[in-house]
Amino acid sequence: MKLKTKITLFTTLLLILLLLVTNSSIYFIFKKTMTDNAIERLDSQVDDIAEGFNRSGSTAVEPRNLFNAYVPLNGMIRIIDENNKSLLTTLKDELSLRSLNATYRTNEHTDVTQESGAIYASASMPIIWTNDNVVSLELTERLVDVEQSLGILRIILIVASFIILVPTVIGGRFLSKVVLQPIQSLIYTMEDIQTSRTFKRITTKSSSKDELDQMANTFNNMMDLLEENYKKQEQFVSDASHELKTPLTVIESYANMLKRWGMKRPDILEEAVESIHSESIRMKTLTEQMLVLAKDDSQLDLHIQPTDINTLCIETGRSLQQAFQRTIHVKPSPHPIQVSSDEQKLKQLLYILLDNAIKYSEESIELTVSTSAENMCLITITDQGIGIPKEDLAHVYERFFRVDKARNRETGGSGLGLAIAAKIIKAHQGTIHIDSEEGKGTIVQVHLPIYFS
């Protein structure tokens, strides 16, 4: 069953149920009000008849003649003895009243009965009969006015229910169509995407701000994200293929050279082995970096523990200074600072940032540890190198992006360093900011949460 049919069926059944409950309540409340008024009237009339009967004892008026004066047009007056036998019955036109059972009662009593669609109200009270026995005086009346009023009310309620039900059902179908239109559009769009293998969006009305519009916008945003990731994946695969192609080409070239002359010429053998070894290491490093970037943040294997950032920066700066024979000034914080981090990942981060500073500058490099106004650990790396053009600053975290492609190739950079650095910082809930001026140098600032014991 389609959702539109379910909505229409559910709303129709719910409306019918509500109409039944409402109409029944109106009907029975009206009926009870009318019958209560009739009972109250009959009860008053029985008192008047009993009082008139008691007064007639001194005037020698026949009871039947007295009762004829009191009996209603559609009513009956009966005298019932203790054996439930009618001693006297007085009525006018309503002969069906004779079929009602006679019941002797020793106290005042009112009742409403319904037989064969007719409604009867009765009121009775005990009196002293002419033979000095206690009998029951009963006044019964068929409530014709009440029956007619209830009949008219039934017709009104039925007609009113149809008048309400028919437009509501039509309106429900129209509303379900309107409500389900974005969902149907979503289904068509998804089927079209599946068939055409392209990214498509749902057309939305800018004036609508309801949940269905939000659903369509969310779907469109999801499509934008998927398309963006798909394009990044395509670009990543293309760049990775290009980057791996170069070292493989070098290795193949030197392998061919070895195959032809390597055994005969030691100089060629040494050059080829050195180049193959260098390119293999470069390809291995590139592959490892690509694998790191291929993982999302949840897949990074982090071993979080308190890390002394001053000590880590001093050791890392000393190691790189000895390895590259470059001057690196490390200025630790005067106060001990600990951060919650994976020490090896944090060391990798410092290697990447310091390695970039070494590659793109000839002067000394400064590594400073301090605390920021936001009570965060601040690591600042300053160089006086070639700098980064302003238009390239927004792209430095992209994979395989190079500011100076010729120099980067010369120094062996892959364009993945800052992308990996940004990923490590994000995994530690930190931030990175780069200020640079072309020809003057670069300042890299890393903010990391401080560990409080």
Dihedral angle of Cα 66, 67, 69, 71, to the nearest 10 degrees: 170
**Could you say which of 294, 316, 348 is where a domain stops?**
294
pLDDT(292) > 70: no
pLDDT(32) > 90: yes
pLDDT(246) > 90: no
Domain harbouring 364, CATH code: 3.30.565.10
Nearest residue to 278 (alpha-carbon basis) of 88, 158, 370, 412: 412
The predicted pLDDT at position 328 comes to 93
Q: Is residue 314 part of a domain?
A: yes
The predicted pLDDT at position 314 comes to 93
Checking DSSP bridges between strand 86-91 and strand 75-80, what pairing results, if any?
Answer: antiparallel
**Residues 98 and 7 grouped into a single domain:** yes
pTM for the structure as a whole: 0.47
- pLDDT average, residue stretch 239-265: 73
Q: Is residue 64 part of a domain?
A: yes
**Residues 401 and 443 grouped into a single domain:** yes
Task: Quote the number of domains for the chain.
Answer: 3
Predicted confidence (pLDDT) per residue in 136-156, tens digit: 999 999 999 999 999 999 999
The predicted pLDDT at position 2 comes to 73
**Residues 306 and 434 grouped into a single domain:** yes
**61 or 31: which carries more pLDDT confidence?**
31
Task: Please report which confidence band the pLDDT of residue 239 belongs to, taking 50, 70 and 90 as the band edges.
Answer: low
Lowest model confidence (mean pLDDT) among 58-67, 103-112, 220-229, 317-326: 58-67
The predicted pLDDT at position 404 comes to 60
Lowest model confidence (mean pLDDT) among 69-83, 256-270, 306-320, 432-446: 256-270
**Residues 18 and 125 grouped into a single domain:** yes
Q: Is residue 171 part of a domain?
A: no
**140 or 61: which carries more pLDDT confidence?**
140
Q: In sequence order, what DSSP letters do the residues of 117-161 get, joined into one string? A: TEEEEEEEEEEE-TTS-EEEEEEEEE-HHHHHHHHHHHHHHHHHH
Angle (nearest 5°) at CA 329 between 326 and 334:
160
Averaged pLDDT of the chain: 83
- Cα 436 to Cα 285, 358, 380, 389, 420, distances in angstroms: 27, 15, 13, 8, 20
Domain harbouring 125, CATH code: 3.30.450.20
**Residues 314 and 439 grouped into a single domain:** yes
The strand ranges marked E within 212-291 are none
Domain region containing 36: 3-153
pLDDT(120) > 80: yes
Q: Is residue 329 part of a domain?
A: yes
Checking DSSP bridges between strand 86-91 and strand 134-142, what pairing results, if any?
Answer: unpaired
- pLDDT average, residue stretch 384-395: 87
Predicted confidence (pLDDT) per residue in 354-382, tens digit: 988 998 888 999 999 999 878 899 999 99
Beta bridge partners of 141: 75, 121
Side-chain half-sphere of 409: how many Cα atoms within 13 Å? 6
The predicted pLDDT at position 407 comes to 47
**Residues 373 and 438 grouped into a single domain:** yes
Q: Is residue 92 part of a domain?
A: yes
**Could you say which of 119, 135, 153 is where a domain stops?**
153
Helices 343-359 and 309-324, packing angle to 10 deg: 40
**Residues 345 and 403 grouped into a single domain:** yes
**Residues 341 and 282 grouped into a single domain:** no
**Residues 421 and 359 grouped into a single domain:** yes
- pLDDT average, residue stretch 254-269: 74
Chain centroid to CA 213: how far? 14
pLDDT(414) > 70: no
pLDDT(101) > 50: yes
The predicted pLDDT at position 110 comes to 92
Furthest C-alpha separation in the chain: 162
Predicted confidence (pLDDT) per residue in 176-211, tens digit: 777 777 777 778 888 888 787 777 777 766 566 677
The predicted pLDDT at position 430 comes to 92
pLDDT(423) > 50: yes
What distance in Å separates the CA atoms of residue 130 and residue 156, rounded to the nearest whole number?
51
Q: Is residue 372 part of a domain?
A: yes
Of the chain, the percentage scoring pLDDT greater than 70 comes to 88
**Residues 21 and 133 grouped into a single domain:** yes
Q: Is residue 174 part of a domain?
A: no
**Residues 355 and 426 grouped into a single domain:** yes
**Residues 215 and 124 grouped into a single domain:** no
Beta bridge partners of 437: 441
Q: Is residue 120 part of a domain?
A: yes
The predicted pLDDT at position 408 comes to 46
The predicted pLDDT at position 339 comes to 93
The predicted pLDDT at position 409 comes to 45
Domain harbouring 216, CATH code: 1.10.287.130
Contacts with 234 (C-beta within 8 Å, 6 or more apart), sequence order: none
What distance in Å separates the CA atoms of residue 65 and residue 95, rounded to the nearest whole number?
19
Of the chain, the percentage scoring pLDDT greater than 90 comes to 32
**Could you say which of 225, 260, 294 is where a domain stops?**
294
Task: Please report which confidence band the pLDDT of residue 419 belongs to, taking 50, 70 and 90 as the band edges.
Answer: confident
